[in-house]
A and B are shown apart, each in its own frame.
Chain A
C-alpha cells in the first residue's frame, strides 16, 4: 500500500489543491454561479441545433485545413505582414519569446508596458520576466487587472477573475488603490477605467494577443468587449502581438464562422463589442496608431503536438473556454487547481505538450470522461478521446517509445504487474476458476484498505458464491425435477 503523503506537501499537487478548493464554499459558489450562467448564455446563443452543428463542422474543417498546410500558411502570413510593414519574429521557447519582446522594449528605452489580454503572454510569464528587468507590465483587461493587483493568476481563460466576488474586489481596490470601499460593480469598473486610462497614455509599448491571424491579407484579428485591446494596440508608439503558431487561418472569409463560434461559445454574444483587425502600423499620413507593429510567433510545444496526427487536433482550439464552462470537474475545483496557465479540459490536453506530462501527471486523469467538453467544443476537438490517449502515454514504460513530452510520468511497475496478472486470470479459464473459487471461499480475507478506493468507499466483499456457481446450481435444479421447487 502506498504511503499517504502529508497534506502540506499535497498542496503543490493537483489533488492537494483540489481538496482545498473543494473545501472553500465561497469559491465553489462563485464558480457554480458563473458556470451555470455561461452555459445558459451559450445555449441561448445557439437556439437552432442544426445551425449550430453545421457551423461547428465548418469550424472544424477550417481549422483542419489550416493545420494541414500550417508551415505554408505561416510563411504566407509572414510574407504578407512584412509587406504590410509588420515585423515578424519566431520563438521556439517562452524564454526566446520573452527575450524578443524585451529586446524590442529595450530598443525603445521603454519602461512601461500596457497589456491587452493574452493567454500566450501568460504562458511566457511575461510580466515577471519584464519586471525582473525593471519594466512595468500592466494588465489592462479588468479581470486580468484585478488578478494582477492581487498577485494571482487567471482562473479562467475568458473570465480571469471569475473566482472573486464583488466584495473581494472591493476590498482589493480599497487596500491596493486606496479608494473608498464600494461593492457597486459600476463604481469598481470606473475606478479601473480611471487608473488604467492614465497607464494607456503613458505606456511606451502595448502588448496584445491575437485571436486569428489571417494569412491571405496579413491581418491580426483581436476580439474584446472593453476597449483595452484597442487602447493597447493603438495608443502606445509600439505594438507587440504575441501568439501561438496555431492561430493562423487561410482566408479572411474563414474568420466569419470562427468568429461567430468563438463569441457565442465563450460568452453567448452574437459578436464582441470590438473586433479589431490590424494589418499594419500607422501609415505616413495617419495621425494615430503605433509606429511599429511586431508579431511574435511562439511554438512552446505546439509543434510536438502537431507531429502526431491525433494530438494535432489539440491545435484546433480557438480559446473560447466553453469546455471549462461545461466541465463538472472544473466547476467544482476551479481554475487555480490546475496549477498551470490553461485550466479545464483544454488545459488538460494542451499543457502536457508545453510543460511535459512529468509536471502535470494528474491532468489526463482529472476527468470523469463525461464528454461534455467534446460536445460543446466549437471546433470539435475530441477532448475525451485525447484525454484517453494522454492517459495511455502517461503510463508508458521507459522502454516504450512516445512522442509526448514527459510520457510515462505515472508508469508504475506494480500497476503494470497487477494488470498483467489480471489479464492472465481473465484469459486462462482454469486459472480463473481457481481464483474465483478461492475468492468466494476466503472472502473474509479481503483487506479492508484498498488504496485510494477505500478512502471514500467501503472495501468490496466478494459474495459467498460466484454468479457462475449460482447459475450452475440453478440449471441443475431445473434439470432435476425431483429437487426443491
Chain B
C-alpha cells in the first residue's frame, strides 16, 4: 500500500492550492460532424466497412439464414459456430434442418477450457448478433455474454454478424447515450470495424492477422 500512498501523496502535493478544471465538454464537436439522414445511414456504414474489406449485404430478416448458408457453401466450409439459445441461433438451426444444409452446426455451450484446441483450429466460421452499429466510423457494437461468448467473434476465420437496420446510430456518442454506457459496462464490450488486419510490414495492409480473415455483415432491413 505504500506505493499507492506515495504516488497519491506526490500527486496531491502537486495540486495544492488548485481546483479541478471545469467540465466544458462540447457535445456538438462529437455529434454535429457525424450526423446522417436515416436513408444515408446504411450507405455510410456500408462504404466505411467495405473500405476495410468487409462484405456488407442488406436483406429481409427472413432471408438471412439462407444467405449464411450460401456464404458457407461458396467457401466450402465444414462447420459454423452459433449460439443455440439466442433467437437468431434458433432461426439458423431451423433453416439448417429445413434446407438440409451440409455444414455442421457447432454450439458454443461449454467453457473454453474444455475445447480450446477444437475452437482454435477446427472451427471455420461463426454467426453472431450485434448490439447495433455506428455509421460515423463503420463499427459494429458487440456485447458478448454467456450465449455469445467473446471468442465467437475472434477465433473463426469467417465471422458473419447480424445487424438490425433499426439499431444503427449516427455516432459513438449517440450509441453511448442510447445504451447508457455511463451507468455501467459489461465485462467486455467491443467495437468491431472490419476483419483483423495489420500494416506492420512496410505499411502494407494484410488482412487476417490474428482474428477473422473475413467479416460479413448482414443488415436486416426490416428488423
Contact = CB atoms under 8 A, between A and B. Distances in A.
Given A69-B20, A91-B3, 4 more contacts: A58-B26, A68-B19, A251-B182, A277-B188
A259 interface: yes
B142 to A, nearest CB: 10
A245 B7 contact: yes
B201 A275 contact: no
A226 B201 contact: no
- The 7 A-B pairs at the shortest CB distance, nearest first, are namely A227-B211, A143-B200, A226-B209, A275-B191, A227-B210, A90-B4, A227-B196
Interface stretch (B35-43, B56-64, B68-76, B106-114): B106-114
Contacts of B7: 74, 90, 92, 245, 297, 299, 303
Interface stretch (A19-27, A125-133, A161-169): A161-169
Interface string A201-227: 100000000000000110100000111
B210 A74 contact: no
Interface stretch (A281-289, A381-389, A404-412, A449-457): A281-289
Interface stretch (A6-14, A188-196, A390-398, A438-446): A188-196
A156 to B, nearest CB: 10
A281 B187 contact: yes
Interface of A: 30, 33-34, 37-38, 48, 51, 54-55, 58, 61-62, 64-65, 68-72, 74-75, 84, 90-92, 96, 140-143, 146, 159-162, 164-166, 169, 185-186, 188-190, 192-193, 196-197, 200-201, 216-217, 219, 225-228, 230-231, 234-235, 237, 245, 250-254, 256-257, 259-260, 267, 270-283, 285-289, 297, 299, 303-304, 306-308, 312
Contact of A165 (B150, B188, B202): B202
Interface string B9-43: 01111110011111111100110010000000000
A226 B197 contact: yes
27 contacts: A51-B33, A58-B25, A58-B26, A65-B22, A70-B15, A71-B11, A140-B210, A142-B198, A160-B200, A165-B202, A185-B202, A189-B201, A225-B209, A230-B154, A234-B151, A235-B112, A250-B23, A252-B185, A254-B25, A257-B29, A273-B195, A286-B149, A286-B187, A289-B150, A299-B7, A303-B14, A307-B10
Nearest to B197: A225
Given A71-B12, A217-B182, A146 B188 contact: no
A281 to B, nearest CB: 7
Contact of B188 (A68, A227, A278): A278
B69 to A, nearest CB: 25
Given A196-B210, A226-B198, A259 B10 contact: no
A282 B187 contact: yes
A321 B188 CA distance: 27
A133 B214 CA distance: 40
B172 A274 contact: no
A275 B176 CA distance: 14
A273 B206 contact: no
A211 B199 CA distance: 20
Contacts of A161: 200-201
Contacts of B209: 142, 189, 192-193, 225-228
B140 to A, nearest CB: 11
A256 B177 CA distance: 12
B196 A226 contact: yes
Interface in B171-207: 171-173, 176, 181-182, 184-204, 206
Interface stretch (B93-101, B122-130, B131-139, B161-169): B131-139
A75 B137 CA distance: 33
B52 interface: yes
Interface string B72-98: 000000000000000000000000000
Contacts of B194: 273
A267 to B, nearest CB: 8
A225 B13 contact: no
Contacts of B25: 58, 61-62, 251, 253-254
B193 A272 contact: yes
Given A51-B33, A92-B7, A275 B190 contact: yes
Contacts of B13: 307
A256 B191 contact: no
A286 B146 contact: yes
